[in-house]
Amino acid sequence: MVQLEVPPAEADRAAARHNYMVSPHMTRTQRQPDAACPWQLIGFTSEDAQARGTLAWIIANAIVKSRSGPSPAYQLWRDATLKERKLEGLEARSVAAVVRSVFGLPPRGTDAKDHPPGYVGEWLWYLLTKEEQLKDHELVLLEPPDWGVTGGGGDGFAAHRVPARAGTGSDTMLIFKLWELKKFTGTAGSVSSTISKAASQLAERGDEYIAKVCWSNQNEPGELGQLMAELAELWMRGDPRGGAGISVATNTCSVPNQAFSQLAGRLPQLNQPDQLRGLMVAMDDFTAFAEQVKGYLWTVL
């Protein structure tokens, strides 16, 4: 079993003070702002146990709440976790069904050891994107991470409402970015090779990923529905309303001084300002952090 650094109830009280947001516990540093693909480095405001535990709890809470849907599994998990009480019978089964596919179940876990840190990295991207305040940008669509980490399709998609360009006959318009989300926590290879792989995936399979986004949002009304009708064409011709991004979760020691140039090389049609973006989330030991998230998920099982 995972040894938690911070008891659930204590972590929950700290999370509640900031409305369960991850941003107050993290820093954002702009890197290479004038590059073809500018990027942000995200780090901890503090690497102490309290900060790690609070952030891990926020992510665990968000994961179970999202994956439980309308079922009672989330409330069962949350109530029992805060009391550090084991669930039994059908209640335990309902929570196990939410957790098993990515994190496995105690005591053995999952054979796919890279799945938990990869999935935690995806949720960090999602929560950071949801909370980010961009000037003149209103978030109108943000797809949460898939049920698993090996599903076909792009890992992330976000659409914002922004002021329209002059001469369009409208006050606002929708723009979008397709994201590929990765993690690098090993010793073989580098962050650069991970970014190159992500850029290649967007270049080679971006059309397919966009088609999946259109399919999953086919019933959206109004301007979002219109965006879905136009999405494939906008992506394929590199329209300024479209863009791409890569996010990498990694260890602090692996962060390079320069990164994400591969994206511009693999997607040359996206050559307008703000069409490309990189994000790197770094912690002292990202795999150990993902284990803390798993520990909270497993508390009741």
Q: What is the pTM of this model?
A: 0.95
Position 1 in a domain: no
Domain that holds residue 145: 8-298
Position 187 in a domain: yes
End-to-end alpha carbon distance in the chain:
10
Domain count for the chain, please give it. 1
Q: For 187-231, how does the pLDDT look when each residue is reduced to its tens digit (9 = 90+)?
A: 777 899 999 999 999 999 999 999 999 999 999 999 999 999 999
Contacts of 152 (CB under 8 A, 6+ apart): 208, 212
Residue with token string 């914002």: 160
Position 3 in a domain: no
Binned at pLDDT 50, 70 and 90, residue 154 comes out as low
Q: What pLDDT does residue 46 have?
A: 75
Q: In this structure, are strands 26-31 and 39-44 parallel, antiparallel, or unpaired? A: antiparallel
Angstrom distance (rounded) from CA 289 to CA 97: 23
Contacts of 257 (CB under 8 A, 6+ apart): none
Distances (CA, A) of 214 to 66, 128, 152, 208, 267: 21, 24, 14, 10, 21
Q: What pLDDT does residue 234 have?
A: 98
Say yes or no to pLDDT of 152 above 60.
no
Beta bridge partners of 161: 138, 174
Q: What's the residue count for the chain?
A: 301
The alpha helices in 49-189, defined as continuous H runs, are: 49-68, 73-82, 89-103, 115-131
Q: What's the gap between Cα 228 and its chain centre?
A: 22
Position 65 in a domain: yes
Angstrom distance (rounded) from CA 26 to CA 129: 13
Tokens of 112: 């796919």
Position 155 in a domain: yes
